[in-house]
Amino acid sequence: MTDSLRVAVIGVGRMGARMSQRLMAAGHAVTVCDPASPGVDELCAQGARRSEDAAGAAAGADATITSLPTPDVVESVVLGPRGVLEGAAQGSLVIDTSTSLPSLARRLADGGRERGVAVLDAPVSGGPRGAEQGTLAIMVGGEEEAFARALPLLETLGSVIRHMGGPGAGQATKLTNNVLAGTHMAVLAEAVALARAEGLDLSKVYEIVSHGTGDSRVLRNRYPVPGVLADAPASRNWAPLFPVDLLAKDVALALATADEHGLSLPVAAVALERYREAQSADLGELDYSAVARLFEQMSDI
């Protein structure tokens, strides 16, 4: 692919808007489409074009990037009437950065193949900060030739990019990542509750654990104690880097995928129960580290 491309971005929420801005800053001509997002107007003011539907956005694009909330929406936007594949030109690329199902990614790839369009599943990790800074981790499934063509675009968005295998491999990798993140956070919430119950200084707990075998990126980025880490959601009124609602969705997708293989993931299933409880406690729009706040409602701690 050439240095300057025509790129359609379908879905310009927290992630898609920031990816669009990076693509424009890199000199690409960007068309955006998202009837549900007020971010379209802001992006158009910055130089993007607007399309009223996905087919129209994809029609003139060398590559179409989707960033959408659920598998159902992905399927509708890509395969449905006036969807991406209806408009995408033969020989173009479709890159789905949503977190979805491996089985759906394979269906999208099959649908694209029938139309002469290469479809990659390329979910991302790193949140809005990573999207803004171009430091996302991007895990890609699809044909190697299509990955090679997409790589210059992906390098605008991410700093760690890996081709994980054929169609669906990117989504499978992302679900693996989010099962780890989600279960770790649920257990971290319990560990902090235990430390608090024992009357420990939670700042010192962080200092020690972050240099011990309990250390992790989840601990360092999302320690769920207000005032300990200035940039952690807990210190910013639980403002979401990644909300409970989306984390619960992703863990549920992982469990559904495991079920397709006859595989049981009991620890992940228990973690999902905790996130469902957080949703029922009106914490769904907060960062997923707010699962720790369940202890405020369940104990005298």
pLDDT of residue 299: 45
At residue 297, the pLDDT reads: 61
Domains and CATH numbers, the chain: 6-166 (3.40.50.720), 172-298 (1.10.1040.10)
Give the pLDDT score at 300: 41
- How many alpha carbons fall within 13 Å on the CB side of residue 1? 23
Q: Which residues are identified as catalytic? A: 174
How much is the pLDDT for 36? 84
**Bridge pairing between strands 49-50 and 93-96:** unpaired
Residue 133's pLDDT is: 97
Whole-structure pTM over 0.75, yes or no?
yes
pLDDT of residue 1: 52
Return the pLDDT at 101.
98
| Contact indicator for 39, 13 with CB cutoff of 8 Å | yes
pLDDT along the chain (301 residues), means of 10: 86 96 98 91 96 96 98 98 97 98 98 98 95 98 98 98 99 98 98 97 98 98 98 97 96 98 98 98 98 75 39
